[in-house]
């Protein structure tokens, strides 16, 4: 009898303890969530409102370090360089076709941040894409570029020009950019392969505007002439960086004067051809070096269009970003470029050499020239 009573007492006390423990745990949980709610509510009430985000100037508000110091491994990416994940109907269509036909794009290979905007088209709905010819392995080893490097890449696909033209002409695009890896291993450095691709495109879709972003062909004028005479609309070749940083940034076989001579010779063959080049900023150049480079590009080579964009380190093996240039500096350089005679300057942190805003303007230049030529012909 005594043992039974003791057992019952222990059971009751255990049950009461368990109930009390659950009660206190429940109460502490409620207190925790109430405090978290009140803290969040206070943070929302005292924090920035929607108008703050609409009206804030990201560049002026940013307090992070924009210039790499000696004791820093790398810089933190500022907010104006962050982009949305690419998606959209036209983006998906182009991606499927490119994968199906085993084509390469510099948009993907070079990890371009504007791929969604270019492939989908913006408010004007002018969609653009940049196809990379002659494989995905380059014989050069530039320290800024994420394209794979090989001393002896695979032979070019003989069907690539026709397949590329067939794919491009099936897309809903107004402007195509063709580029290629450097092929120093080929006798003509791939120039005939590129020219053949352009000819196939123009044969199937004459009104499609074609820009070709070429290698420097080691300065071989015959290669430049082959491309110019292929009926393209825009001849582009990038000088990449200011003269002072060429050996640090580019492959040892490339240099500023050689690149400038490529653009000069393209104009000599066809003075009416639109020429274009590009500069990356943030590699350690000074503002005056950039302006002097722009002056030489315009005065010596008579280049029509220039793009200026922020260099972004593609992997840890590549050159570090020395500086994230503020958007206001890009705006100042755009105004300067226009003041010294460039027909168009696309300048901004996310601008790349094949940036669609530049292509939109170039399209208008070409259309205007075509209308003038047609009017002149009709008058005769």
- The one-digit pLDDT tens for each residue of the chain (380 residues) are 555 556 555 555 665 666 666 665 666 666 666 666 665 555 445 554 434 433 444 566 777 778 887 777 778 788 877 655 444 555 555 566 555 655 555 455 445 554 545 544 544 444 566 788 999 899 999 998 988 899 999 999 999 999 999 988 988 777 889 999 999 999 999 999 999 999 999 999 998 889 999 999 999 999 999 999 999 999 999 999 999 999 999 999 999 999 999 999 999 999 999 999 999 999 999 999 999 999 999 999 999 999 999 999 888 889 999 999 999 999 999 999 999 999 989 899 988 776 554 566 677 777 777 777 777 778 77
CB–CB of 280/238 below 8 Å? no
Q: Which of 111, 156, 173 minimizes the C-alpha distance to 315?
A: 111
34 is in an annotated binding site: no
Instruction: Look up the CATH number of domain 89-378.
Output: 3.20.20.70
Q: Is 142 annotated as a binding residue?
A: yes
The DSSP bridge pattern shows strands 305-310 and 274-281 to be: parallel
C-alpha distances in Å from residue 154, one per residue of 150, 186, 274, 279, 340: 9, 11, 32, 30, 44
The model carries a pTM of: 0.73
* 118 assigned to a ligand binding site: yes
Q: Is 212 annotated as a binding residue?
A: no
pLDDT number for residue 272: 92
Q: Nearest 10 degrees: CA dihedral of 347, 353, 354, 355?
A: -20
Name the burial class of residue 301, with classes exposed (0-12), middle (13-18) and buried (19+) by CB atoms within 10 angstroms of its CB.
buried
Tokens at residue 324, please? 């994230």
Domain boundaries of the chain, sorted by first residue: 89-378
pLDDT at 274 (0 to 100): 94
The verdict on whether residue 150 carries a ligand-binding annotation is no
Cα 136–chain centre separation:
17
Does 56 appear as a known binding residue?
A: no
24's tokens: 């206190």
339 labeled binding residue: no
Contact 319, 249 (CB under 8 A): yes
């Amino acid at each position: 009898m005594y043992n039974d009573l003791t057992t019952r007492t222990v059971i009751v006390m255990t049950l009461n303890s368990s109930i009390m423990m659950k009660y206190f745990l429940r109460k502490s949980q409620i207190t925790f969530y109430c405090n978290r709610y009140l803290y969040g509510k206070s943070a929302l009430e005292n924090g920035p409102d929607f108008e703050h985000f609409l009206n804030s100037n990201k560049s002026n508000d940013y307090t992070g370090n924009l210039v790499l110091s000696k004791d820093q491994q790398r810089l933190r990416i500022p907010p104006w360089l962050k982009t949305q994940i690419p998606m959209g109907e036209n983006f998906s269509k182009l991606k499927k076709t490119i994968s199906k036909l085993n084509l390469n794009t510099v948009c993907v290979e070079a990890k371009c941040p504007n791929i969604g905007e270019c492939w989908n088209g913006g408010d004007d709905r002018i969609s653009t894409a940049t196809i990379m010819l002659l494989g995905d392995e380059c014989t050069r080893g530039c320290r800024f570029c994420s394209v794979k490097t090989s001393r002896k890449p695979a032979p070019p696909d003989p069907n690539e020009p026709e397949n590329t033209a067939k794919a491009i002409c099936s897309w809903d695009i107004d402007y195509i950019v063709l580029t290629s890896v450097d092929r120093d291993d080929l006798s003509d450095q791939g120039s005939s392969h590129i020219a053949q691709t352009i000819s196939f495109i123009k044969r199937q879709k004459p009104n499609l505007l074609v820009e070709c972003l070429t290698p420097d062909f080691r300065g071989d004028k015959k290669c430049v002439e082959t491309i110019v005479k292929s009926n393209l609309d825009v001849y582009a070749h990038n000088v990449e960086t200011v003269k002072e940083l060429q050996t640090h940034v580019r492959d040892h076989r490339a240099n500023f004067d050689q690149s400038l001579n490529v653009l000069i010779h393209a104009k000599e063959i066809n003075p009416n051809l639109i020429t274009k080049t590009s500069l990356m900023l943030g590699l350690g150049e000074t503002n005056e070096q950039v302006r002097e480079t722009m002056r030489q590009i315009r005065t010596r080579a008579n280049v029509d269009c220039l793009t200026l964009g922020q260099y972004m380190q593609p992997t840890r093996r590549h050159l570090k970003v020395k500086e994230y240039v503020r958007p206001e500096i890009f705006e100042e350089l755009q105004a300067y470029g226009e003041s010294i005679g460039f027909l168009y300057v696309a300048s901004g942190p996310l601008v790349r050499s094949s940036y669609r805003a530049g292509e939109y303007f170039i399209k208008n230049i070409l259309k205007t020239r075509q209308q003038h030529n047609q009017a002149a012909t009709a008058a005769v």
